[in-house]
Amino acid sequence: MASFDKATPVLRFRRGKVPGAVWLLWPVLVWRVVAPVPREQVLNFFQRAVLALARAGVVRVVDVAERLMIGPDLTGLVVQELRGMGLLDHSDRPTHRGLQTLDDIEFDPPEDATFGHVISDPTTGKLWPRFCTGDLPIADVEPDEEGWPVLLGGSAGDPWKDWTYSVTPGTQRIVQPDARDVLRIARRTRRQHALDDDDGRDIPRLQRVSFVDEIPQPYWLAVCVRRHESGDWMVDDPSDTASQSKCGRRSTPSSIGTRAAPTDLSDHRRRFWLTVADPAPGAGDVRHR
């Protein structure tokens, strides 16, 4: 069972001051994954083959075409491309740069490794629809009088604090996610970045993933809950990648006066809403400040 306490680090995707907001610390599990990413090819197949033959001393177009079993016209075109790239000289022999390019291709691995993180709910075991690359956004915090984290924001000239309410989980279900679900989440995040990329972090095209650790790390996830101008509550979904930091712009107003959650909320926002409105027995406790 994962431990969620006063020392558990806090993830905060949404930055900036939100007047009148209530901040929930929601328990999540973070899984670190590694995936091979194919390197961008410097030369295509024909360019590499022609350059390798030139290094071996085969430089006449007709001889190269015969060796590769392609037409002389195509061979001549490839030679012209390699000359234009500075990889062949005027006599169609490899330049120093051309030899170095072949060495780099032959000795460098064809794939790079990229690390990322996926987030799961400790109660349901479900993955959040977000793939995170780079460093996780660890929040700056200070303890309150009881030792629980207070979110810090702003600058030296304009600092502010956001007090929090932590939601401790009830029964936990810690199950390592399926690799296919991780790939699906990565593809979804990549598509969203392509539509609205203000994060600057690219999500690579992944074909397979492996888990770095068998056991996930527990974190609190800072969730913003605020009043809509209509008077209803709005829960900013931290898994929504369309916001200022790929998290939290899309919000759905929901009345907290009744037990039933609105049907237009995402699964996670519905759980946030139900926890604040009327927590179900066994679903966890809310620590009020």
pLDDT tens across 88-144, in order? 999 999 999 999 999 888 777 666 778 889 999 898 888 888 888 888 899 999 999
Q: What is the DSSP letter of 20?
A: T
Q: What is the pLDDT of residues 133-148, one digit of tens each?
A: 888 899 999 999 989 9
Name which residue leads in pLDDT, 208 or 277. Answer: 208
How many angstroms separate the CA atoms of 115 and 132, rounded? Answer: 9
Q: What percentage of the chain carries pLDDT values higher than 70?
A: 76
Average pLDDT for the chain: 78
**pLDDT for 84 beyond 70:** yes
pLDDT computed for residue 85 by the predictor: 93
Q: In this structure, which topology does domain 45-107 adopt according to CATH?
A: Arc Repressor Mutant, subunit A (1.10.10)
Return the closest-CA partner of residue 182 out of 124, 131, 113.
131
**pLDDT for 283 beyond 60:** no
pTM score of the predicted model: 0.65
Q: Which positions ≥6 away from 171 have C-beta within 8 Å?
A: 123, 282
Q: What is the DSSP letter of 94?
A: B
How many angstroms separate the CA atoms of 195 and 184, rounded? Answer: 17
**pLDDT for 212 beyond 60:** yes
Helix ranges restricted to H, 56-212? 61-68, 72-84, 96-107, 179-195
Q: What is the pLDDT of residues 30-68, one digit of tens each?
A: 999 988 876 777 888 899 999 999 999 999 999 999 999
**pLDDT for 250 beyond 60:** no
Centre a 10 Å sphere on the Cβ of residue 256 and count the other Cβ atoms it contains. 16
Identify the H or E element spanning 22: strand 22-38
**pLDDT for 262 beyond 60:** no
Residues of the chain with CATH 1.10.10: 45-107
